[in-house]
Amino acid sequence: MKRREFLKSATALAAGTAISAPAVFSAEAQSRKETLLLVSEGGPNNLDIHGVGTNRPGYEASWNCYDRLVTHPTKTLADGTLSYDKDKFIPELAEDMKIGDMSVTFKLKKGAKFQDGTPVTAKDVKWSFDRAIGVGGFPRVQMKAGSLEKPEQFVAVDDNTFRVDFLKKNRLTIPDLATIVPGIYNMALLKSKATDKDPWALEYTKSNTAGSGAYKVTSWKPGVEVVYERNDAWIGGKLPQLKKVIWRTIPSGGNRRALMERGDADMSFDLPAKDFTEMKKENKLKLISNTIGNGMYSLELNVVKPPFNNEKVRQAIAYAIPYEKIIEAAMFGHAKPLFGGASNTVTSTDWPQPTGYKYDLEKAKALMKESGVGPIESVISFDLGDAISSEPMAVLIQESLGKIGIKLAINKVPGANWRSQMAKKEMPMMVNFFSGWLDYPEYFFFWCYSGQNAIFNTPSYVNKEMDAFIDGAYAAAAIGEKEKYATDVKGFISKAYNDVPRIPIFQPYLNVATQKNISGYQYWFHRQVDYRKLVKA
Residue type, 374: G
Beta bridge partners of 249: 40
Spatial separation of the C-alpha atoms in residues 438 and 17, rounded to whole Å: 58
Listing from the earlier edge strand, what are the strands of the sheet with 154-158?
A: 94-99, 103-108, 161-165, 154-158
* 282-314 pLDDT tens trace: 989 999 999 999 999 999 999 999 999 999 999
pLDDT given for residue 419 in this prediction: 84
Q: Same domain, yes or no, for 522 and 466?
A: no
Per-residue pLDDT, averaged over 98-116, amounts to 96
CB 466 within 8 A of CB 492: yes
Q: Same domain, yes or no, for 503 and 519?
A: no
Domain of 485 in residue numbering reads as: 295-507
Do the domain assignments include residue 278? no
Residue 120: name the closest of 60, 186, 75, 71 by CA. Answer: 186
pLDDT given for residue 453 in this prediction: 64
DSSP string, 194-232: --SS-TT-HHHHHHS----SSEEEEEEETTTEEEEEE-T
Q: Same domain, yes or no, for 110 and 183?
A: yes
Q: Same domain, yes or no, for 197 and 239?
A: yes
Do the domain assignments include residue 275? no
Task: Determine the distance from the C-alpha atom of residue 227 to the mean position of all C-alpha atoms in its chain, rounded to a whole number.
Answer: 20
pLDDT given for residue 265 in this prediction: 97
Residue 50: name the closest of 165, 135, 158 by CA. Answer: 135
400 pLDDT exceeds 60?
A: yes
Residue 400: name the closest of 460, 341, 358 by CA. Answer: 358
Q: Three-state DSSP class for 521?
A: coil
Q: Three-state DSSP class for 471?
A: helix
Average pLDDT taken over every residue of the chain: 92
pLDDT given for residue 33 in this prediction: 86
Residue type, 307: P
Q: What is the CA radius of gyration of the chain?
A: 25
pLDDT given for residue 16 in this prediction: 33
Do the domain assignments include residue 4? no
- What is the domain-level CATH number for residue 382? 3.10.105.10
Q: What is the largest CA-CA distance in the chain?
A: 93
Q: Same domain, yes or no, for 321 and 433?
A: yes
pLDDT given for residue 337 in this prediction: 98
CB 326 within 8 A of CB 505: yes
Spatial separation of the C-alpha atoms in residues 257 and 275, rounded to whole Å: 8
pLDDT given for residue 133 in this prediction: 98
pLDDT given for residue 70 in this prediction: 98
Percent of the chain with pLDDT over 70: 94
CB 450 within 8 A of CB 457: yes
Spatial separation of the C-alpha atoms in residues 486 and 497, rounded to whole Å: 17
- Within 10 angstroms of residue 307's Cβ, the number of other Cβ atoms is 20
Q: Same domain, yes or no, for 141 and 243?
A: yes
Q: Same domain, yes or no, for 218 and 134?
A: yes
Q: Same domain, yes or no, for 151 and 299?
A: no
Do the domain assignments include residue 2? no
pLDDT given for residue 4 in this prediction: 39
Residue 347: name the closest of 502, 493, 449, 504 by CA. Answer: 493
pLDDT given for residue 416 in this prediction: 79
Per-residue pLDDT, averaged over 78-102, amounts to 96
Backbone dihedral angles phi then psi of residue 440, each to the nearest 5 degrees: -135, 140
Do the domain assignments include residue 122? yes
DSSP string, 270-294: S--HHHHHHHHHHTSSEEEEEE-TT
Task: Determine the distance from the C-alpha atom of residue 533 to the mean position of all C-alpha atoms in its chain, rounded to a whole number.
Answer: 18
Domain count, the chain: 2
Residue 498: name the closest of 364, 323, 315, 363 by CA. Answer: 315
17 pLDDT exceeds 50?
A: no
| Burial bucket for residue 226 (CB in 10 Å: 0-12, 13-18, 19+) | buried
CA angle 70, 71, 74 (to 5 degrees): 150
Beta-sheet pairing, 376-383 with 429-435 = parallel
Do the domain assignments include residue 437? yes
- Within 10 angstroms of residue 537's Cβ, the number of other Cβ atoms is 9
167 pLDDT exceeds 90?
A: yes
38 pLDDT exceeds 70?
A: yes
Using pLDDT thresholds of 50, 70 and 90, give the confidence band for residue 528. Answer: very high
Spatial separation of the C-alpha atoms in residues 491 and 84, rounded to whole Å: 29
Do the domain assignments include residue 108? yes
Question: 463: part of which helix (H) or strand (E)?
Answer: none
Q: Same domain, yes or no, for 501 and 517?
A: no
| Burial bucket for residue 338 (CB in 10 Å: 0-12, 13-18, 19+) | buried
pLDDT given for residue 77 in this prediction: 95
Do the domain assignments include residue 466? yes
Backbone dihedral angles phi then psi of residue 437, each to the nearest 5 degrees: -60, -50
Q: Structure pTM?
A: 0.87
pLDDT given for residue 417 in this prediction: 87
* 481-517 pLDDT tens trace: 999 999 999 999 999 999 999 999 999 999 999 999 9
pLDDT given for residue 30 in this prediction: 61
CB 180 within 8 A of CB 162: no
**Residue 352 preceded by cis peptide, ω within 30:** yes
Q: Same domain, yes or no, for 479 and 519?
A: no
Alpha helices in 283-376 (DSSP H): 311-320, 323-331, 361-371
* 427-445 pLDDT tens trace: 999 999 999 999 999 999 9
CB 361 within 8 A of CB 324: no
Backbone dihedral angles phi then psi of residue 212, each to the nearest 5 degrees: -120, 15
- What is the domain-level CATH number for residue 128? 3.40.190.10
Spatial separation of the C-alpha atoms in residues 260 and 154, rounded to whole Å: 46
**Residue 354 preceded by cis peptide, ω within 30:** no
Q: Same domain, yes or no, for 497 and 518?
A: no
CB 61 within 8 A of CB 209: yes
Question: 260: part of which helix (H) or strand (E)?
Answer: helix 253-262
Q: Same domain, yes or no, for 198 and 51?
A: yes
Beta bridge partners of 216: 229
9 pLDDT exceeds 50?
A: no
Spatial separation of the C-alpha atoms in residues 236 and 239, rounded to whole Å: 8
**Residue 307 preceded by cis peptide, ω within 30:** yes
Beta-sheet pairing, 82-84 with 103-108 = unpaired
Angle between helices 323-331 and 387-401 (to 10 degrees): 150
pLDDT given for residue 454 in this prediction: 67
CB 413 within 8 A of CB 403: no
* 189-247 pLDDT tens trace: 999 999 999 999 999 999 999 999 999 999 999 999 999 999 999 999 999 999 999 99
